[in-house]
Structure formats: C-alpha cells, structure tokens
Chain A
Amino acid sequence: MAVGRLAGVGYGLRRNPITIVGLTMLGALIAVAVLAPALALRDPYATDPAIALRPPGPGRPFGTDTFGHDIFSRVLYGARIDLIVAAGAVGVALVLGGLLGAVAGYTGGWLDDVIMRIMDMLQAFPNFILALGIAAALGPSLTNLIIAIGLTNLPIYARLVRSRLLTLRVSGFALAAVSVGNPSWRVLLIHLLPNSLAPVFIQATLQSGWAILQAAGLSFIGLGVRVPTPEWGVMISMGVQQLTSGHWWVSFFPGLAIMVSVISFNLIGDGLQDLLDPRRR
C-alpha cells in the first residue's frame, strides 16, 4: 500500500514543473557540497592579506574578504555546512518530535497531556527567539546550532504525528494488527508510523529552508558557527563593515547562496503540497 502511494507521488511530481525545478536546484546544491574540494579554487581557510578586499575578477569569481579569503571557495564549502545544519536540525526535530508525538498519540492519557503541554510551551515562543535563547544558553558551535534549531522546530512534527496516530489508532488495520497479537510497540513502529509519513516529509522539506535561514541568522549574530568557519550567515556578518566602504561582494554572494538554497527547498515543498491538496492550484 505504501509503495503504491510512493509511485503515485512520483507520477505527480513528474507533472509538476515547480517541483522539478526545485529538485534540480537541490541536486545541484548537494553536488556542489560534495564536490567542493574539487570545485574550490583555494582552501577556504587560507588567508592572504596581500589580496584582501579585491572585487570579483579573474581567478576570484566572488572576490576576497578582509583576510584575503577567497569568497567563492568559501561559498562552495559553505554549502556543506549549511546543508549539514539543515539536515541535522530537521532530522533532530523530525525524529524527536515524531517519537514524542507517536508516544503521545498512541498512549494517550496523562502522558499525552504532559507531552502536549510541553509542546504548547515551546510553541508559545516566537520561533527565532527560542532558537536564540537555546543557542545563547548552549554556546556557539555547529552542534549546538543544530540542537537549538532542532528543538525549536520539534513541536510541529509532534503534533502532526500525534494527530495522524489518533485517527489511525482506531482504524481497521490497526485494530486487526493488535487483535492478531502484535505488541503495541510493533503496531506503532511497523504499521502506524509509515502511514503518517507523507505530511511529515512535506513539513521536513519546507522546514529545511527555514532551518537554513535560522542558522544563518543565528550565526550572523554570533550564536552559531564562528568565524572563520565558512558558513554563509557568518560570512555575511564578516562583510557588514565593508559595505559602507563599497566592498559589497563580501556579504552579497553568501546571501545569494542562502537564497538559492532556500528557494530550492521551498519549491519542492510547494510542489508536494500542491500534489496533496490540488485545491491550492
């Protein structure tokens, strides 16, 4: 049954140009991240004060910054970092949130109440502010960034999975699985969870873009990845001072990279949403 649905999704995806564009862009992005060492012109950490703050030109497609880093190479390597953060944060949110939601939805009772109250509290915070607070508390590092963003975006997955489970719990095939003697955890894992996955995946793609923006924002403030790591948000912050001296390229290209990446995720997510709810067209 699940396989048939996947095939249907594949068919629908092919007929939706938006999603194709998004997937292509994402593919290119991943390719860049993987091939960064081959595509980069210089070591992203290599400084060279002699050629500091040069505008884009031959051998320096994106110019150089205050320390003489080659921005082009750093943008390429930045793809790795930002994709890792996005994947990591969404992964954390999805797995933890999904599990919590599954437990809440399937078990019910006081456990459900407690978990949902905690989700309420997490969602009472404006999104970025909570991430800011957690990141500030944990200290600036890549791992902490992933944790902060992951925790902030947890509740959505918890709610999605929980509501799906509440309906499925009393459905025909679930009751059948239980009546045949399957223990609860087996029913949960093997029967119920796979059927909850579709809306979760859509959320995940849409959130990946958002995660990149949050990561960039937090790093810009100094709460995420630190200089000189080639993360796009940090790179933008390194160019702020240079702006009023006319050196626009230091901040410009990393931001462009962010935009392109987030667009690709949003296009995929939009396409998936259109697929499952054609009224949106």
Chain B
Amino acid sequence: MLFGRYLLRRLLLAGPALLGVLFITFALTRIIPGNPIDRIVGFFVTEERRAEIMREYGFDQPYHVQFVRYLGGLVHGDLGTSFLTSRPVVADLRQRFPATLELTVSAIIIAVLVAVPLGVVSAVHKGSWIDHLGRVLSVIGVSMPVFWLGLVLVYIFFFKLGIAPPPIGRLEPSVVAPPVITGLVIIDALLAGNLPALWSGLRVLTLPALVLGFAAMAPLARMARSGMIEALDSPYVRAARAMGLPARTVIVRHALKNALLPVVTMIAVVFGYQLGGVVLIESIFSWPGLGQYAFNAAANADFPAIQGFILYATTIYIVLFLVVDVLYGILDRRVRYQ
C-alpha cells in the first residue's frame, strides 16, 4: 500500500513537468525570428495564398489560441505535418522509432556490461594501478566528442581494416531483410529464423551502438565505483566481515546491491545523453532512426518535425525517470517512507 502511494506521488509530480515541457516546446517554435510561413511556401507566392496558408496552419490566431489548438492536436495524436516529408510527424516518428530503439537499447546494454564491472573492480582494488587506469580512461571517455569517435572508428575499422560493414542502414545491402514484425531487425531476424540477416544486422549494429554507448561508459563506471566504495566502507559491510563472511560473499551479496542503486539512476541520466547523441551518431552511420530525422529537420528548419522530436525525446526521458523512481522503490525499501 505504501508502495502504491509512492507511485502515485511520483506520477503526480511528473504531470506539471510534462505540461511545462509542452509549453516550452511550443514557445520555442513560435519565437523563431521571421515568419514561419516563409519556410513552408518559399518567396514566390501571392499574398492571398499566403493568407490562406496562414489560416490553414493557424498562424493568424493569437498565441494562446494557437497553444490551445496545439494541445488539442496533441491529445488527438496530431503533431503537425513535416515541412520536408509532407507527412504527419507522428507517422514519421512511428516509422523511425524501432531503429532508434534498437540502437539505444544496444548501446545501453553494451555500456552497462562494460562499465559496471570496471567500476566495481576499480572500487574493490581502490588505489591500485587498475583503479588509476580506470580513472584515466574515464576522463578521456567523458572528454571525447562522441561523433568524432564514431568517425575515427569508421575510418579505422571500415576504411582501413575492412572489418566493419559500410556504415549505411541497418542491414548490409546483399542481405534479405526479414519480414517486419516488431521493426527491430535483430528480433525479427530471430523470429523468422533468418540467420544471415541476424548476423548482418548485428554486424552493422556493433559500431554505432559501441560509439553511442561509449559516452555512457564513463559516468556509469564512475557511479559504480563510487557506489561500491561507499558500500565497502559502510558499517554493515564491516559487520558482515566481522561475522566472518568471505570477501566474495560480502562484495557480491552485500555491497553490490547497495552500490548499484545509484547506478540505476545514472542509467536514466545517461539515456538522456543518448537521446541527444543519436542525432549525431545516426547521421554519421546513416542509421534510419529518429536521430537522423531530427538531424535533417534541424538542418532544414523543419519545425513541426523538430518540435515532434523534442516532445518525443523529452516524454521518454520523463517516463524513464519515473520508471527509475519506481525501480528504486522496489529495490530499496527505505525510499518508500520519504
């Protein structure tokens, strides 16, 4: 019951934030210098046609009316029409979503699998050369522009060494695509038993996921390390050791669970970086996801698309933090009393 109340409180707190996000996103697209109409119709158009289009898009109404219309549209799932593709933004987003999902999830998985053990090992061997090396690597990792790393790796592994497949799309051109069920190439290939596609899909996914996950590794490793150090120095770990529990049991069963709690929150934060990172990485690897969509939209001042992307990304971000909060409540009982 306490948990239910905790959940409800978290949901209620998220509401106003979401509303604020909608408002700010709306405001952003309305403060554009110049008339947005010009971007839709170009310059060689009659005054009447212009007025017509303005009415159509509602640009002639006062701002608060526009905002209400905009909210109304959102409730019906209408995010406007893209200037570039001339399709509803929602349709564009929905079509490109699976590609980005596949990429970001893979990136997070890689990052967690690499970073967390590294951080834990660093903590257990605090002060040793392993620890120092880890810290050096983590500083370098956090300081690197991720899109640059992507370019460097493409050059080395594709151009020079020929190991990686060409950074175009989600499957190599020679491979037959599996029937679309989930939209996730890896899963669909598994379901269809299409092993060549599975293998190819994984190969193409590797480099972009690695690069995208790379930026996440350093903060995750740091969090794991500091969480672990704090756990290892805690009174209950000392008491556990005093009771003669062997070092491995102490680390794995006592310290680890406590150490990983802050890591869970960090995953949400890191995911936020990735939402921005996909814009850069997808364009480098020609990955047909939402990031590439946003990149094209930004480069071409396609405002409904930009707006749609911002809303999608932010909503996911807010929902993610909600999920993390809930997870915390499950893992650490103390939190429910706050």
Residues of A within 8 A of B (CB): 117-118, 120-122, 124-134, 136-139, 209, 213, 216-217, 220-223, 233, 236, 239-240, 243-244, 246, 248, 251-252, 254-255, 258-259, 262-263, 266-267, 270, 279-280
Complex alpha-carbon distance, A136 and B152, angstroms: 27
A128 vs B32: C-alpha distance in the bound complex, in angstroms?
A: 19
From the candidates A125, A209, A213, A221, name the one contacting B298 in the complex (CB within 8 A): A221
Contact call A221/B299, Cβ cutoff below 8 A: yes
Q: Which of B18, B33, B144, B276 contacts A124 (CB 8 A)?
A: B18
Fill in one digit per residue for B284-325: 1 if any A CB lies within 8 Å of its CB, else 0.
100000000011001101010011011001100110000000
Across the interface, do A220 and B147 meet the contact criterion of CB distance under 8 Å? yes
Chain B minimum-CB-distance residue to A270: B139
B20 touches A121 (CB 8 A): yes
- Our pick among A126, A138, A223, A243 for the contact of B317 (Cβ within 8 Å) is A126
In the bound complex, do residue A222 and residue B23 qualify as a contact, i.e. CB atoms below 8 Å apart?
A: no
Extra contacts, 11 of them, besides A128-B279, A254-B148, A262-B144 (Cβ < 8 A), are A124-B314, A126-B273, A129-B314, A132-B276, A132-B279, A221-B299, A244-B158, A251-B148, A252-B151, A252-B152, A262-B142
Q: Does B277 contact A (CB under 8 A)?
A: yes
Scan residues 24-39 of chain B and give those whose CB is less than 8 A from a CB of chain A: 24-25, 28-29, 31-33
Assembled-state Cα–Cα distance A251/B147 (Å): 10
List the 7 closest A-B pairs by CB distance, nearest first: A128-B276, A121-B20, A255-B148, A262-B143, A126-B272, A263-B143, A124-B17
- Taken together as a complex, chains A and B put the C-alpha atoms of A72 and B142 apart, in Å, by 25
Q: How far is the CB of A38 from chain B (nearest CB, A)?
A: 27
Which residues of chain A come closer than 8 Å to B152, judged between CB atoms?
248, 252, 255
* Contact between B155 and A259, CB atoms less than 8 A apart: no
**B residues apposed to A, CB below 8 Å:** 16-18, 20-21, 23-25, 28-29, 31-33, 139-140, 142-145, 147-149, 151-152, 154-155, 158-159, 226, 229, 272-273, 275-277, 279-280, 283-284, 294-295, 298-299, 301, 303, 306-307, 309-310, 313-314, 317-318
Residues of A within 8 A of B33 (CB): 138-139
Docked-complex contact B314 and A132, CB < 8 angstroms:
no
Q: Is the CB of A127 within 8 A of B21?
A: no
Which of these, A209, A222, A258, A270, contacts B148 with CB under 8 Å? A258
In the complex, chain A residues whose CB is within 8 Å of the CB of B318? 124
- Known contacts A127-B273, A248-B155, A252-B152: A121-B306 contact under CB 8 Å: no
Q: Assess the B142–A121 pair: CB atoms within 8 A.
A: no
Q: Are A127 and B148 interface neighbours, CB within 8 A?
A: no
A136 touching B148, Cβ below 8 Å = no
The interface residues of chain A lying within 8 Å CB-to-CB of B29 are 137
Contact between chains at B276 and A221 (CB < 8 Å): no
Q: Which residues of A contact B301 (CB under 8 A)?
A: 136
Residues of chain B with a CB closer than 8 A to A118's CB = 20
Once the chains bind, are A128 and B145 in contact (CB under 8 Å)? no
Chain A contact surface mostly: helix
> Could you say which residues of chain B place their CB within 8 Å of the CB of A266?
139, 142-143
* Alpha-carbon separation in the docked complex, A170 to B158 (Å): 62
* Residues of A contacting B277 in the complex (Cβ-Cβ under 8 angstroms): 128
Shortest distance in angstroms between B235's beta carbon and chain A's nearest beta carbon?
A: 15
Instruction: Please indicate the chain A residues that have their CB under 8 angstroms from the CB of B21 in the complex.
Output: 121, 124-125
21 A–B contacts from the bound complex (CB under 8 Å):
A121-B24, A122-B24, A125-B314, A125-B317, A126-B272, A128-B273, A132-B294, A133-B307, A136-B301, A136-B306, A139-B32, A217-B147, A221-B283, A221-B295, A233-B145, A243-B151, A243-B159, A248-B155, A258-B144, A259-B145, A262-B144
Q: Which residues of B contact A129 (CB under 8 A)?
A: 275-276, 309-310, 313-314
Determine the chain B residues whose CB is within 8 A of the CB of A251 once the complex forms: 148, 151
User: Are B276 and A126 within 8 A (Cβ)?
Assistant: yes
Q: Give complex CA distance A131, B272 in Å.
A: 13
The smallest C-beta distance from B22 to any residue of chain A, in angstroms, reads: 9
Known: A121-B21, A251-B151. A126 touches B314 (CB 8 A): yes
